[in-house]
Structure 1
Amino acid sequence: MSVSAEAPAAPDKDWWRGAVIYQIYPRSYQDSNGDGIGDLKGITARLPHVAALGADAIWISPFFPSPMRDFGYDVSNYTDVDPMFGSLSDFDGLISEAHRLGIKVMIDLVMSHSSDQHHWFIESRSSRFNPKADWYVWADARPDGTPPNNWLSIFGGSAWHWDPTRMQYYMHNFLTSQPDLNLHNPEVQDALLDMTRFWLKRGVDGFRLDTINFYFHDKDLRDNPALDPSRRNASTAPAVNPYNFQEHLYDKNRPENLEFLRRFRAVLDEFPAIAAVGEVGDSQRGLEIVGEYTSGNDKMQMCYAFEFLAPDPLTPARVSEVQKAFSIAAPDGWACWAFSNHDVVRHVSRWGHDVLDRDSYAKMASAILMSQRGSVCIYQGEELGLTEADIAYADLQDPYGIQFWPEFKGRDGCRTPMVWDSQALQAGFSTAEKTWLPIPVEHQLRAVGAQYGDPASVLEQYRRFLAFRKQHPAFAKGEIEFLAEDGAVLGYKRQYGNETVLCLFNMSAAETATELPAGDWEVLTGHGFESGLEGRRVELPAWGAFFAHHA
């Protein structure tokens, strides 16, 4: 009697829709060799934490060879690992362990610019006639020697830097050591797509695309117009940066990007079940661009804009406004929402700086994030309720903060090392006497070991709610319908198939009550929040939440 083996299940090409993605900043996650800097082996050793949390995937910020002027977002070799972080073999081991634990792996691709130490740029700047002369954005000076136009760098000053060898300016949207690649050149596109295949062949499950709307510039190098002061806001750049004074029509957001994204998506589709999320950095047109980049099933699977990464307070009206605006701008698109990442002030400090009960606030915010329509990014340490660290000027590493100190203190405050054991040296992050950024004492007290198993902790609430989310497909894939505003209460329904889940949140420090909407509702449990129900009246404690579904 012969027994035929079952064919392996086909990979789920839709795994990303509603996925919870855990962002890891490799310098700060776990140091395995005692040099004070996190590395790939350290990430591998800590993957059980991600699995226990319940995340579906990890996104690892850049670990490629780099002079580290912008801490890895200035890549000098796209197809290797910086020795600081380990080796390609270490990366292969990370992939293997993540997949064993059921975790997808996404990596950060920085394709709008490279390091000035990349061999492409070294060749490009050597003359005007070498094979890579047109691989970067070069332009002649104006007759008076000034830059070719008024474009500005996000990191301050002109977006043009003079090169004495070529006697031309090159464009840099970020640091002068981060020259912009010229994606108008098909050879540059082909090289970047070949690099993408390199990592896909190593087993990655997807990518986060850094500054996805910066890939192309206007070929005619037209000046950007001034932006009306009433439309300025500080979500793309800090308020002290004159970058916010321009409407960025010509230095980014160009229509040519759509065809390149189709080419990129075609490469992803050569492999099974690959997904990409693009970072759209534009405070004026963010959601509109997300709609363009995620429509039609031939570009990005998902994008995230800066609406929930901005300083604007998180209120019932704000949550409703952002989701409704997204549904208009991108009716066929899919968002990936985050409240914190490696570039912005941690949300517990950004929004809850005057909140007395930070833990309750963190729990409520996490439930709002994880019940939104879209996929979700959680930034390392967020699950511990970490606040923004106060870094002394002498300890600053971020060039952005050094440039605009003290009005803007940079990004180091959200990049401090992860805390694992409050009793261990450097909170279990490293055995080094000094870590690349200092670890605040208040963070050490919130270490994983101090919270694990404590049902009242922020960490255990994240774990509970992630498990609760997985029990109800409406959270991952369902539609969203907002209820009429009711004071401090945020209310909406998530509907998928025959399941409708009611979500109510008290976004205030005072107890409040609200009425159930029409229909028969059955209270849901297992999410970690307690509230009272008397008839149709829901009693919500401060920073509380309530969940129910149709009976």
Structure 2
Amino acid sequence: MALYCWLALLILGPFTSAQKDWWETASFYQIYPRSFQDSNGDGIGDLNGIKSRLPYLKSLGMTAFWLSPIYPSPMADFGYDISNFTDIHPSFGTLTDFRQLVQEAKQLQLRIILDFVPNHSSDEHEWFKKSVKREQGYEDFYVWQDPKPGTDREPPNNWVEAWYGSAWEWNEERNQFYLHQFHKKQPDLNYRNPAVVQAMKDVLRFWLDQGVDGFRIDAVPWLFETVGFPDEPPSGHTNDPLSQNYLKHIYTLDQPETVDMVYQWRELMDQYKKEHNTTTKILMTEAWSSLDVVKTYFNDSNNRQGSQMPFNFQLILRLDKYSKASDFKTVIDSWLDIIPLGHTPNWVLGNHDKRRVSSRMGGDHMVDIMAMIELTLPGITVTYQGEEIGMQDVDISWTDTRDPAACQLTEETYQEGTRDPARTPFQWDSSANAGFTNASVKPWLPLAANYALVNVQTQQDTVQNSHLKVFKELMHLRTTRTLIWGSFKSRVLGENVYAIVRAFPNDKRVYVVLANIGANNETIDATVLDSTLPNDLVFRVVSVSSKHSTGQTVPTKNILLQPYESAVLTNRAFQAPQPVALLICAICLIVAMLWSTVIISVLLLIPSLLADEHWWQHANFYQIYPRSFKDSDGDGVGDLRGVLEKVPYLRRELGIDAIWLSPIFKSPMADFGYDIADFRDIHAEFGTIADLEALATACDQEGLKLILDFVPNHSSDESEWFIKSVNKDPIYSDYYVWHPGKTLANGTRVPPSNWVSVFRGPAWEWNDVRKEYYLHQFLVKQPDLNYRNPALVQEMMDVMKFWLDKGVHGFRIDAVPYLFESQSVNGVYPDEEKSGETDDPDNPTYLVHTHTQNLNETFDMIYQWRKVVDDHKKQKQTEDIVLMAEAYTPLLNIIRLFGDENSDGAHIPFNFEVLSNTFRDTTGKQFYGYINRWLDVVPPNRYSNWVLGNHDNKRVSSRLGVARADLYQIALNVLPGIAVTYNGDELAMEDVFISWKDTIDPAACNSNPKDYLLYSRDPVRTPFQWDDSVSAGFSTNRTTWLPVASNYKTLNYKTQKAAPRSHVKIFKALVRLRKQRTLREGSMEMQLIGDNIIAIKRHLEGVSTIVAVLNFNKTTETVKLSSVFHGLPAAFEVITSSLQTNYMDGSIVPRDEIVLPADAAIVLEGNVANGN
């Protein structure tokens, strides 16, 4: 039976677990608003300044940001003395500004956390003023006491405040003392009064209603004091009775009621989530208490829940510039040891109250070390603004000191208490005042003297490594499943190296973190950390001080670290699934378990089990833009019969596995087929349903899969559905999104909201028949379908089934992010916030699209469509029916399109990392990063895909340069997974200049003669260049729907087919190579050599090794492969190479003499049995 279990795990073993809540894997960023960004030139940071920098937070990879207090305040303690808990201080802005900040943050998928300061208010708060006067209901809002009996106004006891001096202040009007455990202008609230408890809960609800995602609770340990107010005993640490350290604070800190108060606030958060059906609202608690006390904030013995994040200050409190690697291990382990089961660790390196990391830990050399350790530890991270660029404390003179904790001291002692040095303005660039405020303005605190060198812009723009680049790379690694789900193990290696290994079950990827804390060289054998590590590791992230480079390989048993060098290393192995092996194991399991009764039936199943059911997992897909592929009837427009004619070209000559057709459905052609009048018919220019069925049959006969474009977001306004909806047909009335609009005070009717179309202008159009506006996120002639109508949802599912019954093998789903919009509330649609990117209100970038893109319901709709195709597959007993999803959206959304823990989504959510980010001047290092960025986030048991071009973007040769066309095709086809090619890219076709007069793309026609080329997609959609005859062999008609490229007589398929070497022959060789097991099943290792050469190794034991080398340099380079990879054969066969090389396919080359001209690439294959 153990064997059965092992086999079952082999088949079903992919790592599964409950989905983590958003905060459990989050990276938080603390903003000290006064010092982050000034937007109005008063020298003080503000909310609009923060809003302008949200893209920066997103670029860091942050999940959420926490704002130090922004409430009205006399600023005796810079915002921690609050005079109104439910408003904004004028220096920071207004409530409207705050709401706009929340909206923009949500558009960027950033969550916002507010500081909640419950222990005290300002003495200028209305509550305190009323309490002084003993007004009814407020008499006991604060902690009042008479003088000590028998004395002349002597304080009630010996308690001292947290800074310096007595914790009691006499109030002449009330004739009593009030307690202030901090500044005398911060009277303590009385939590033994239920009215205070309720008032502060109301404050929390107020801000939750504004859209915040949680609270950081300030100064938690001070909430309650012991009843009776006894004197506290001396500590013996100092002889100064006014110093906080003079007493043991057994009656003023960490009282049992404090923890219960936190639990009550957690109950409020959870109740709010339930009432409003929101995502989880979190609590972060600040308590500089012992670990035993901090632990109690998580939960109690009855599993009553408290703070999700009791701040872990161990890295701040117990580590300094004298700490050794052994101290790091002790401190980190001590925190992990106390985390209750089911709770998540968090890691805090700095904040506004403590010295900055660089200053505290001894200098700039420790910045990357601390970041690498913190950001690779399991759980949640919190970064204080500026730590990512290595900002240091600034020496603030006594004259310039503003911190009340320091001002209460003396000029001789103020530096012991000041927090100003860690609060200086953020350093954005090297301009005057570091880009924090206007050049002519004096900032509220002085800037660091080194801001011209230590700033975001300098560190981002440098070609060298920088703290910011290291930080961003580490943040990206935090999104990988290895660092989210993986195991954690640490050890001290050598004399002073702190080492971490993170591994993920059933995955081949391992990350090893090495941090040399000492001033001496260290040679490390990492196998001591984990004996299963491979023989070699690859540097993934290196510190600024490192002499190693990203992509460099090093023997695992012999890693030399310089003083204070840190690095993250990985095996970078990628092992493609081996379905045949898994199926054999499945058969063995079935046979073993059912041997005695059904062995014959099982054996009969073997042929069907071994069929290529999952054909798409390593396929070459080819996009056809039908209007431009092949015209069969001489009307100048491509058609289905033209595609049918070229099936042999696609399958037999190119070797393509699947073709995807852009829309062929009945349409007025306002957007060339993306405005569909009948989802169940073929546009007459393209042919008939019979032509489609003939094409499907021909594809089946050739073993070619047929994929159709599915355009679910909208129809044409000439659709029968829309016409009936206009007339309020009871079936179709709600098939579209209708609204009567808003009526202004003067009686003018205006659209329901300020939403803008993708193609410019309002997204709402008035219909004079129905007397309502309809939504169109694209053209006016493309009204949006209403997916909140179940009848429409079923209708579109029926459309899918209709075409599946015609023999298609899947769908490419268009414009996925736009499917749902926010619902109207009380008949009102919410306006989108302005983006600040343009002053043109008709431009879609004028707004942030919180309410019109990427709503949660969109992803669920994809999951429902996946079930439709899976059910059809099961019913018809076919191979997989594939969904491909088009979504220009952040990677976190792309990953959701794959599916969640309960549902499968799209088989192929398009990977636009390469298409969107590569240009003519892209470096090898950048391209290497784009590849890793995708590979690192692909979920377990999902398949990568690689897209270089499509009908909406400039062609590969025009966007990336003809010289690199072959290089990118080689990269696309040797990487693991699926390759997608746009028709003509196999020939290196180029964009064609289309004049304003000849332009027909609506995206361009909606602009103007000056700017139209910025929007036009016509240049990439021109006719395919088959030969040098009339109209490039595309049509017998000399006039085609778009002009043919002027270079078609020399750049065409016929010419390239006849040439000894050509782009298309390179493409064919690559597609043939992809049929081999090594590229389908083999491991992958990729290395960056310098900044501009990438080497990719694919290996399958006992079969072969394939190596691709890509030279992004502008000079000829010689590559010695034995110094890049181990275990290579002495010589390789050239499979193919860029046109500018001198290599002939099939020639043999020594492994250490690979010569590549500028912008060239080569693919080699060798038999590993002949290696050295």
Normalising to structure 1: TM-score of the pair?
0.89
Among 21, 24, 30, the alignment partner of 1:23 is 30
Establish whether residue 337 from structure 1 lines up as the match of residue 347 from structure 2: yes
Are 1:78 and 2:85 matched, yes or no? yes
- CA separation in 1, counterparts of 2:473 and 2:568? 14
CA contact (8 A) 2:517 2:563 kept: yes
Instruction: Specify the SS of the correspondent of 2:23.
Output: coil
Partner of 1:5: none
Pair 340,93 (structure 1): closer, same or farther in 2 beyond 3 Å: same
Which letter does structure 2 place at the counterpart of 1:141? P
* CA distances 1:346-396 after superposition (whole Å, capped 9, x unpaired): 11011114xxxx2x4211111112122331111111111111001111111
Change in Cα spacing, 1:206 to 1:75, as seen in structure 2 (3 Å) is same
Report deviation, 1:65: 0.3
Q: CA deviation at 1:300?
A: 0.3
Q: How far apart in 2 are the matches of 1:289 and 1:82?
A: 34
Match of 2:281 among 253, 268, 274: 274
Alpha-carbon offset, residue 170 of structure 1: 0.9
Whichever residue aligns with residue 343 of structure 1, its letter is D
Which of residues 441, 447, 451 in structure 1 aligns to 2:455? 447
Distance in 2, Cα, partners of 1:389 & 1:477: 39
- RMSD over equivalenced CA pairs, Å: 2.4
Q: Which residue of 1 aligns with 2:1084?
A: none
The count of corresponding residues between Structure 1 and Structure 2 is: 522
Label 1:19 to 1:83 Cα distance change in 2 as closer, same or farther (>3 A): same
Q: Distance in 1 between matches of 2:521 and 2:568?
A: 17
Whether the aligned pair in 2 keeps the contact of 1:147 and 1:169 (CA below 8 Å) is yes
Question: Which residue in the other structure is 2:370 paired with?
Answer: 365
Mark the runs of 5 or more structure 1 residues left unpaired by the alignment: 1-11, 233-238
Q: Counterpart in 1 of 2:469?
A: 460
Rounded to whole Å, the distance in 2 between the matches of 1:203 and 1:34 is: 28
* CA distances 1:32-60 after superposition (whole Å, capped 9, x unpaired): 11111010000000111111111111111
Structure 2 unaligned regions, length at least 5: 1-18, 274-278, 574-1172
User: Partner of 1:192 in structure 2?
Assistant: 200
CA offsets per residue over residues 248-278 of structure 1, 9 Å max, x none? Answer: 2210201012222121111111223111211
Offset from partner CA, 1:93-123 (integer Å, 9 cap, x none) = 1111111112111111100111111111111
Give CA-to-partner distance per residue, 1:199-227, whole Å, 9 cap, x none. 11111111111112221111221222333
Q: Which residue of 1 aligns with 2:555?
A: 534
Give 3-state SS (helix, strand or coil) of 1:276's partner: strand
The answer to whether the 8 A contact 2:538-2:554 is kept is no
Paired residue for 2:295?
A: 291
- 1:311: Cα distance to partner? 6.9
Match of 1:291, SS state, is helix
CA drift at 1:444:
3.3
Report the alpha carbon displacement of residue 549 of structure 1 after superposing the two structures with TM: 5.8
- 1:114-263 equivalence runs, <5 A: 114-127=121-134, 130-143=136-149, 144=151, 145-227=153-235, 229=237, 242-263=243-264
Q: Does 1:397 align with 2:402?
A: yes
1:236 corresponding residue in structure 2: none
CA deviation map 1:63-115 (0-9, x unaligned)? 00000000001111111101110011101111111111121111111001111
The 10-residue stretch of structure 1 (210-219 or 327-336) with the greater mean CA deviation from structure 2: 327-336
**In 2, are the aligned partners of 1:427 and 1:444 still within 8 Å (CA)?**
yes
Q: Where do residues 471-482 of structure 1 align in structure 2 (5 Å cutoff)?
A: 471=480, 473-476=481-484, 480-482=488-490
**1:67 equivalenced with 2:74 (yes/no):** yes
State the alpha-carbon separation in 1 of the partners of residues 317 and 457 from structure 2: 31
Q: Is the 8 A contact 1:468 1:526 kept in 2?
A: no
Q: Judging changes above 3 Å, is the alpha-carbon distance between structure 1 residues 478 and 186 closer, same or farther for their aligned structure 2 residues?
A: farther
Secondary structure of residue in 1 paired with 2:513: strand
CA-to-partner distance for each residue in 1:162-221, whole Å, 9 max, x for gaps?
112222211111100001111111111111111101111111111111112221111221
Q: Tell me, in whole angstroms, the C-alpha distance in 1 between the residues paired with 2:39 and 2:540.
A: 36
In the superposition, relative to structure 1, how do residues 479 and 250 fare at CA in structure 2: closer, same or farther (>3 Å)? farther
Instruction: Report the TM-score when normalising by structure 2.
Output: 0.43
Choose which of 330, 333, 351 in structure 1 pairs with 2:361.
Answer: 351
Q: 1:374 to 1:322 in 2, by over 3 A?
A: farther
- The higher relative CO (CA closer than 8 Å, separation ≥ 6) is in 1
Q: Say which SS state the counterpart of residue 216 (structure 2) adopts.
A: strand
Identity of paired residues, percent?
35
SS in 2 for 1:59: strand
2:63 is matched with which residue?
Answer: 56
How has the CA–CA distance of structure 1 residues 18 and 200 changed in structure 2, closer, same or farther, with 3 Å as cutoff?
A: same
* Offset of residue 140 of structure 1: 1.6
Q: Quick one: distance in 1 between partners of 2:318 and 2:516?
A: 20
Within 1, Cα distance between the matches of 2:125 and 2:565?
51
Deviations along 1:382-427, whole A, 9 cap, x unmatched?
Answer: 111111001111111111122234334201111111111202x311
**Cα distance in 1 for residues equivalent to 2:193 and 2:328:** 41
**1:506-533 deviations in Å (ceiling 9; x for gaps):** 1123221222224221435432356573
- Alpha-carbon distance change, 146 to 195 in structure 1, aligned in 2, over 3 angstroms: same
Contact 1:66–1:72 at 8 Å: present in 2 too? yes
Following superposition, the deviation at residue 482 of structure 1 comes to: 2.9
Alignment CA distance shift 1:477-1:67 (3 Å): farther
More displaced 10-residue stretch of structure 1: 454-463 or 399-408: 399-408
Distance 2:493 2:143 in 1: 49
- Look up the equivalent residue of 2:192 and give its one-letter code: H
2:336 aligns to what?
A: 327
Which structure would you say has the larger Rg?
A: 2
Aligned to 1:14: 21
Helix, strand or coil: the match of 1:406? coil
Q: Corresponding residue for 1:489?
A: 497
SS in 1 for 2:541: coil
Per the alignment, do residues 439 and 546 of structure 1 end up closer, same or farther by CA in structure 2, a change over 3 Å counting?
A: closer
Q: 1:541 to 1:82 in 2, by over 3 A?
A: same
Q: Give 1:308's aligned residue.
A: 315
